[in-house]
Each structure stands twice: as C-alpha cells, then as structure tokens.
C-alpha cells in the first residue's frame, strides 16, 4: 500500500498547473472563484484553449483524438483545473454522448460528431428526463415513429441543463409502445435547429436560467441519427450513466469552495467561534476522507476491478459536502447573505452566497437522486 | 498510488485470522471474559508463538520491525474477534514509547521480553483529575485513571509531573511497595485499572522530551485503534446484512423495506469513509512533524468515532430485539465500538483539535 502519487503523476500535475496558470483568462477565473455563473462564450473559450493544447477530450482514448490519460491522470487534471478556477468540463458532450458514440456509434457518426465536441464547435444537451419520467427514467413517453428514412418525434423533455446553448440533444424516445418499459426505448440524436424543437426556460429558485423544457412537435429526425439498434436504447442509456460518474465526487471543486469558505469565515471573524469552527472542521474532515475514498476507487478502476457501489458513495458524499460548504458560506456572512441580485450591498464576497446555496440544492437531486443512489448501494449489498 | 497489501502482509493477515477463527471463537472469548483475570495468558503465549507480539519491535531487540500497516491488519482481525488481551497497550504502544525514550540498556532488558510474551509493559498516562501523579525525590505519588490493561502489567510506564514543571516518563514495577492497583472490567469486556501511587519507587526513562514521545507513541496507538474499529465495523455490517436477508416479517425478508435499506447504505458510507481515514492514519502516524501528524490523526479519529457510533447504533436497531441481547456477538461489537469512540480523545476533542491545528497551519 502506497498512498503517494508516482513521480510521473506529480510531474503531470505540475504540467497541468502551469498550463492552467498561464492560459486561463482572468475574467473566467474570477467568475468561477466567486461563484458567478459562466456564459456560453466562457465555456467555449476554455474548451478551445484545452483543445489547442491537445486536451480537448480529457478522458478520451488516443484513437479518438484524446490524450489517453489514466483515470488518475484525468483526476489530477480535473483537480488542478478546479483549484485554479477553470470552468468544469461541460459533460453532456465530452463525458456523456462521446463515450456512447465511441462504444456504439457507426464510424460515420463518430467522424461527424466527435471532432466537433472536442473542438468546442458543437454543444450537446441531455434529453432524458420528462415530466413523467424522473427517477423512473424508463417510463419516458416521447414517441418516435419510423417513416421511411426518418423518425417523427413528439413529446416533451425537461430539466435540460444549458439546453439554451445546445446545438444537439441526445434523446431517449419510445419506439415500441407495446413492449415492456425498458425494451421499447431507442436512443436518438436530434439537431436542435430542426423545425418543431422549442426550448422554454425554467427559472430556478436562485433566479437563474440553467435548465429548460424542450418541446418536440413532429420533429423529423434522419434514421441515420439512431444510435445502435432500435429498441435497444436502454442499454446505451445505462452505459452513459456509468460514464457520467467520472469526477462525480467533485473533490477539486469542493477543495476550492472550502478554501473560499475559510477566506470568508476568516474575514467575518467566524472561525473564532468554536461552534462555527467545528462545523467547518467537520466538512473539511469529510472531504479529506472522501478524497482518499475517491483515490481508492480510481485505483480499483485502474486494476479493472468490477465496480461496486463506490460511484454511488462518491455521489452522495460529494454532493453532501458541496451543499454543506455552500450552506456554511451563507451562514458565515449572516444577514448580508439574504440580499438577492444586488452587487453593491454588503461585502463583495456575500453577493452570491444566498443564491449559491439555493442553486446547490440541485446536487442531491440530479444525476440519480441521493435516495436512488442509496437504493443502488443497498441492492448491491443486500441483493434483495 | 496503490491500495493493495503485499503478499507478505496478506500472509500475516491470514495467519492472524486463522488463529482467531480457531482459538478465539465467541464462546471461547466469553469463557475468558467470565473468569479471572479476564484475559488469557495461554492466548498471549499463542500470539507470541505466532510472532505478532514482536511486530512493532526492532530486529535488534528480537523483533520483526514491521510498521503501522501490518499492525493495522492484525488489529482489524483482533477487532472482529474482540480480543481481550492487551495487544494495543503492550505490543503496540509500549514498544513505540520505549524506543522513543529509554536507554539502550533498558531497551535491551525489556523489548526482547515483550516480543516473547515473557513481560507485559503498559503505559499509565491519564491522571485522575484530583490527584495528578507527581515526582518527588525520585518517587511517584498520585492516581492514574482507567489505565487500559493496567492490572496485567509487570511493569508500568508512568508519566509524571517533575519538579521543574515538565513531564517525565518513569518505570514502576507493579509489585513494588507503594503501588496499589484497582482492577475492574470495562463496558467492552476488557480490563482497566486505577493505579494509586504512594511514594512509589520509580526509575526515570527519558532524558527530556517525554511529553512529545508519549504523544508520538499514542498516535501510533491511535492509528492501530482506527484499524481495529474498521475490523469491527466490517464484521458488524456483514452480520447486519445477513440478518436483513434472513429475518422474515410481513412475509418477506426485512431487507426489502426501503427504510432499512437506506440505513444500511448510510452505514456503508460511514464504513468506507472510516476505512479511507484508517489508511491515512497508518500512513501518517509516524510522521515527525507533530502538528501536521496530529491534525491528520484527529481527522481520522473524528471520522472513525462518528462511524463507530452510527454503525453500532444502527446495527442494533436493525437487529431489533435480538440486537439488545448479550447472546449475540453484535451487542459486544456495539460496546467495543462505543468504547473506541471514547478512547484516545472522543469525537468532540478531536474535532476541536483539528479546527485549532487547521487554523494555525
């Protein structure tokens, strides 16, 4: 047993740190480190910067133009990016649809879509959830009917994160309404500019426009945009969810936010309060433990050991920690956390803390709610 | 980075697990607990024969010169078996302390005997609040409180306030005049003693730096305690999983009920976080930088202490009435986990120490 990074990994960390230090634009870094929402241009600028360095597809194998990093190298990369205040990778293209295309796409689909994801030229969004299909994803109702070389798609998707920026959406659609729940689903790629696609914003409790409804009204989709076989979509959907979990623990982000919490608490004199200091200590300790747990999972992945309930453990604890930090930051500034949307009241660092706290309640709901994760864990250990 | 144990380490773990499976079944332990002196010299000799008493002693003094990782493997197995013998006190902490304080002569005299099981040496550190142990003219007076396994020691390593206001470490023979032992069972079935010293003859061991040396030895002990806790929690969760799969109510195994499933998932979360911190504690417990070391060990003890409480309480809850019985080993794991949370500084103590050391860093 050896808990240290190898010399090569440590050198790689320095390489990433130097690159991010040199190339990350200050206005993006300032937004990220102060909890301000990024716009589309910010994300794309950073993706293109990474692409120029050959790092546009972190986590991708070399055969598809990625750097071919190990899980540990990918972890180091994301941790360094987060610590320096770089935008988090937009996962819908890079970490969700890309692995599906690599595993199940045709060579033509791979050639058409993968390079543009890596180059930051096309933005993807996820068409999974529907008003009647949340945790129970297999009850999707959006219909796709085959007519010649096309599917005609009608239905409604929801909670579509950053769908307002998206060029493409990958959708779970029902192609066989007579079949049992999971077996009548197909996986379709839909151009957001197609006639019949309408994006409507959903404003969340923090006042932000992050998620959307996507309405599909008799949208004509080329049959060539079907992934794999018709009615096998559930297999690909599950595969995608398995890949979504890289960086699911969010260690780097949590470390950066913890440092921000400590700065704010120190400035407010709150660390002299033993009770508040103990609360900060508790979350810092939980994060230390999760960091090691995460490294254990990476180490097991490298040895190709069968995945246990670890991803669910990382998701639950990682989101609880990030939520706890946001809550403590809000608590630290007291009443100034309550003002909403003003930039010139109270200390600068207080400006987004109330909204940030509100926004992060999403963490324990999305990506499989934490209760669903506990179902998964108990299924794995009890098998009942 | 690598979280696997080596072949040698696995072999050691196997050896110890085989020993407790054969010679330390729950009924055997119960018989040992219920008879005086509450532990077994025969078992102790068996452990000496296996070589595990020599684990933490340098090869120069007849030991094996292993470290915290191997100790953790052994402690995990002893934890699940609920060993009553003074392994942590006599085979982990005492050798670490002697190595850090005593002269070559003293080490030569005692370490080989510890390795062979011929002598049991135990640290007596925590003072009774009203009567701290003080040195006057080379002799010690005062009272040590709840000294784990103090009653079985041939030799006590006693910390005492010295004339110059510092801390010294002294060797006191248990049978010496002026040494009174009050030996009693603790909640977890182990033994502890209050030690009353009345002008007892003592030999000073250290040449300064006793307080730091005691802290360093206790940190090695704390890492071992964390590994013991993880061994117990592994066993507790395995037993609880088994119970949820077999116990039938309302015509089905109770593990089908989501309220119980989620408790089980929460227990597993605590366990894996505790396991991670146990590894970290083993890695850092011998670091020289005291503040950094104590910060890490405090973090480990908080995580493990909280896991001990949560897993122990919920394992009993999920076992229902059976969890309340003395008959099942589960209630004995519960009591040992309770004791571990309260030993070497409880969760509140370590949470505050961590906060203080984090701010100073």
Q: How many CB atoms sit inside 10 A of residue A209's CB? A: 12
What is the model's pLDDT at position B332? Answer: 98
Within an 8 Å CB–CB cutoff, is residue B277 touching chain A? yes
Q: What is the pTM of this model?
A: 0.96
- At B285-314, the pLDDT tens digits run 999 999 999 999 999 999 999 999 999 999
Residue B56 three-state SS: coil
What is the ipTM metric for this complex?
A: 0.96
Contact B358 A274 (CB under 8 A): no
What is the DSSP code (8-state) at residue B2? B
We find that the CATH architecture of domain A248-382 is Up-down Bundle (1.20)
Average pLDDT on B331-344 reads: 98
Long-range pairs for B341-347: beta carbons < 8 A, 24 or more residues apart: B341/B305, B341/B308, B341/B309, B343/B148, B343/B225, B344/B218, B344/B221, B344/B222, B344/B225, B344/B301, B345/B298, B345/B301, B346/B305, B347/B301, B347/B302, B347/B305, B347/B306, B347/B309
- At B173-225, the pLDDT tens digits run 999 999 999 999 999 999 999 999 999 999 999 999 999 999 999 999 999 99
Is the backbone of residue A306 left (phi > 0), alpha (psi -120 to 50) or beta?
Answer: beta
- At A199-238, the pLDDT tens digits run 999 999 999 999 999 999 999 999 999 999 999 999 999 8
| CA-to-CA dists, residue A369 to A33, A40, A204, angstroms | 27, 27, 17
Token pair of A158, please? Answer: 């929801």
Residue A53 three-state SS: coil
Kindly tell me if the per-residue pLDDT of A306 is higher than 70: no
Q: Which residue of B has its CA nearest to A380?
A: B265
What is the DSSP code (8-state) at residue A130? B
What is the model's pLDDT at position A307? Answer: 60
Cα–Cα dist A4/A294, whole Å: 14
Contact A381 B253 (CB under 8 A): no
Closest residue to B354, CB basis, from A285, A383, A384: A285
Cα–Cα dist A15/A222, whole Å: 44
Average pLDDT on B132-152 reads: 97
Is the backbone of residue A242 left (phi > 0), alpha (psi -120 to 50) or beta?
Answer: alpha
Pick the CATH number of A124-233 from 2.40.110.10, 3.40.800.10, 3.40.50.720, 3.40.50.1360: 2.40.110.10
- At A180-204, the pLDDT tens digits run 989 999 999 999 999 999 999 999 9
Cα–Cα dist A125/A118, whole Å: 15
Selected catalytic residue, list A244, A257, A268, A327: A244
Average pLDDT on A12-35 reads: 97
Kind and range of the H or E run holding A243: helix A233-243
Report, in angstroms and rounded to the nearest whole number, the Rg of chain B calculated over CA atoms: 21
What is the model's pLDDT at position A343? Answer: 72
Q: Which residue of B has its CA nearest to A296?
A: B3
Within an 8 Å CB–CB cutoff, is residue A377 touching chain B? yes
Q: Which residue of A has its CA nearest to B354?
A: A281
Q: Which residue of B has its CA nearest to A302?
A: B2
Kind and range of the H or E run holding B143: strand B139-148
Average pLDDT on A55-76 reads: 95
Return the residue in A1, A79, A308 with the most chain B beta carbons within 10 A, the one to mutate for interface testing: A1
Alpha helices in chain B (DSSP H): 7-23, 26-34, 41-50, 68-81, 94-101, 104-116, 210-246, 258-284, 290-319, 329-342, 347-360
Average pLDDT on B353-357 reads: 97
**Chain B residues 32-91 with a CB less than 8 Å from chain A:** 69
Average pLDDT on A149-154 reads: 98
A244 a catalytic residue: yes
What is the model's pLDDT at position A245? Answer: 67
Residue ranges of domains in chain A: 7-89, 124-233, 248-382
Q: Quickly state the pLDDT bin for B360 (edges 50, 70, 90).
A: confident
Counting one residue from chain A and one from chain B, the pairs whose CB atoms sit within 8 A come to 130
Beta carbons of B182 and B171 less than 8 angstroms apart:
no
Contact B355 A280 (CB under 8 A): yes
- Opening angle at CA A303, ends A297 and A309, nearest 5: 35
What is the model's pLDDT at position B169? Answer: 98
Partners of residue A300 in chain B, C-beta under 8 Å: 3
Contact A281 B269 (CB under 8 A): no
What is the model's pLDDT at position A339? Answer: 82
Dihedral sign (CA A298, A301, A307, A311): positive
Token pair of B341, please? Answer: 């949370």
Partners of residue A286 in chain B, C-beta under 8 Å: 273, 303
Q: Among the listed ranges A107-121, A330-344, B136-150, which one has the minimum average pLDDT value?
A: A330-344
Average confidence score pLDDT of chain A: 94
- Residues in contact with B147: Cβ distance below 8 Å, sequence separation at least 6, in sequence order: B122, B123, B124, B125, B126, B156, B192, B193, B194, B195
Domains parsed from chain B with CATH numbers: 7-116 (1.10.540.10), 121-208 (2.40.110.10), 211-360 (1.20.140.10)
What is the model's pLDDT at position A246? Answer: 66
Q: How many CB atoms sit inside 10 A of residue A120's CB? A: 20
Residue A222 three-state SS: strand
Beta carbons of A159 and A366 less than 8 angstroms apart:
yes
Q: Quickly state the pLDDT bin for A310 (edges 50, 70, 90).
A: confident
Cα–Cα dist A222/A152, whole Å: 9
Average pLDDT on A326-339 reads: 94
- At A77-135, the pLDDT tens digits run 999 999 999 999 989 999 999 999 999 999 999 999 999 999 999 999 999 999 999 99
> How much helix, strand and coil, in percent to the nearest 5, is found in chain A?
55, 15, 30
Token pair of B187, please? Answer: 């909640």
Q: Quickly state the pLDDT bin for A244 (edges 50, 70, 90).
A: low
């Amino acid at each position: 047993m050896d808990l240290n990074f190898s010399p090569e990994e440590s050198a790689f960390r320095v390489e990433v740190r130097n690159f991010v230090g040199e190339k990350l634009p200050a206005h993006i870094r300032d937004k990220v480190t102060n909890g301000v929402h990024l716009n589309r241009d910010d994300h794309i600028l950073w993706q293109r910067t990474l692409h120029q360095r050959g790092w546009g597809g972190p986590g991708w194998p070399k055969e598809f133009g990625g750097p071919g990093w190990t899980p540990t190298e990918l972890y180091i990369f994301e941790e360094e990016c987060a610590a320096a205040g770089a935008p988090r990778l937009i996962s819908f293209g890079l970490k969700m649809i890309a692995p599906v295309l690599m595993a199940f796409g045709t060579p033509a689909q791979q050639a058409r879509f993968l390079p543009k994801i890596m180059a930051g030229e096309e933005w993807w969004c996820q068409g999974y959830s529907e008003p009647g299909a949340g945790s129970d994803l297999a009850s999707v109702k959006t219909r796709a009917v085959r007519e010649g070389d096309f599917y005609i798609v009608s239905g409604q998707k929801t909670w579509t994160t950053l769908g307002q920026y998206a060029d493409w959406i990958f959708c779970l659609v029902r192609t066989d309404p007579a079949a049992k729940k999971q077996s009548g689903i197909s996986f379709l790629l839909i151009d957001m500019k197609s006639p019949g696609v309408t994006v409507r914003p959903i404003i969340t409790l923090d006042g932000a426009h992050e998620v959307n409804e996507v309405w599909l009204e008799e949208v004509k989709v080329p049959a060539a945009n079907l992934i794999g076989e018709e009615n096998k979509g559930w297999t690909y959907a599950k595969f995608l969810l398995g890949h979504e979990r890289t960086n699911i623990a969010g260690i780097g982000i949590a470390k950066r936010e913890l440092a921000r919490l400590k700065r704010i608490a120190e400035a407010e004199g709150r660390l002299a309060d033993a009770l508040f200091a103990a609360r900060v200590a508790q979350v810092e300790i939980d994060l230390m433990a999760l960091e090691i747990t995460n490294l254990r999972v990476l180490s097991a992945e490298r040895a190709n050991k069968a995945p246990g309930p670890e991803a669910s453990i990382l998701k639950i604890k990682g989101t609880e920690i990030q939520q706890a930090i946001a809550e403590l930051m809000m608590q630290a500034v007291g009443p100034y956390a309550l003002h909403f949307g003003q930039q010139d009241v109270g200390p600068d660092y207080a400006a987004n803390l109330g909204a940030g706290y509100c926004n992060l309640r999403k963490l324990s709901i999305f990506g499989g709610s934490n209760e669903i994760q506990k179902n998964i864990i108990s299924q794995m250990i009890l098998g009942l | 980075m690598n979280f696997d144990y080596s072949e040698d380490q696995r072999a050691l773990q196997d050896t110890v697990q085989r020993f407790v499976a054969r010679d330390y079944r729950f009924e055997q332990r119960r018989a040992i607990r219920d008879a005086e002196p509450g532990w077994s010299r025969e078992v102790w000799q068996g452990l000496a024969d296996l070589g595990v008493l020599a684990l933490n002693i340098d090869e120069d003094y007849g030991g094996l010169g292993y470290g915290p990782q191997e100790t953790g493997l052994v402690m995990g197995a002893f934890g699940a078996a609920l060993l009553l013998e003074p392994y942590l006190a006599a085979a982990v902490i005492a050798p670490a302390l002697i190595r850090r304080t005593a002269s070559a002569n003293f080490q030569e005299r005692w370490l080989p005997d510890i390795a062979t099981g011929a002598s049991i040496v135990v640290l007596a550190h925590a003072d009774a609040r009203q009567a701290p142990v003080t040195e006057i003219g080379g002799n010690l007076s005062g009272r040590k409180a709840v000294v784990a396994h103090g009653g079985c020691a041939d030799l006590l390593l006693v910390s005492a306030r010295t004339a110059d206001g510092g801390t010294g470490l002294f060797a006191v023979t248990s049978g010496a005049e002026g040494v009174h032992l009050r030996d009693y069972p603790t909640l977890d079935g182990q033994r502890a003693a209050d030690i009353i010293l009345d002008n007892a003859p003592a030999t000073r061991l250290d040449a300064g730096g006793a307080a730091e040396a005691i802290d360093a030895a206790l940190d090695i002990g704390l890492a071992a305690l964390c590994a013991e806790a993880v061994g117990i929690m592994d066993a507790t969760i395995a037993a609880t999983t088994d119970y949820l799969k077999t116990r039938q109510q309302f015509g089905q195994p109770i593990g089908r009920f989501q309220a119980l499933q989620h408790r089980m998932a929460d227990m597993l979360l605590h366990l894996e976080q505790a396991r991670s911190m146990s590894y970290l504690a083993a890695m850092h417990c011998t670091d020289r930088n005291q503040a950094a070391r104590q910060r890490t060990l405090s973090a480990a003890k908080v995580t493990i202490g909280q896991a001990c409480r949560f897993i122990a309480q919920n394992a009993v809850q999920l076992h229902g009435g059976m969890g309340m019985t003395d008959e099942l080993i589960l209630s004995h794991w519960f009591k040992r986990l309770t004791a571990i949370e309260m030993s070497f500084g409880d969760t509140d103590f370590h949470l505050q120490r961590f906060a203080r050391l984090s701010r100073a860093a």
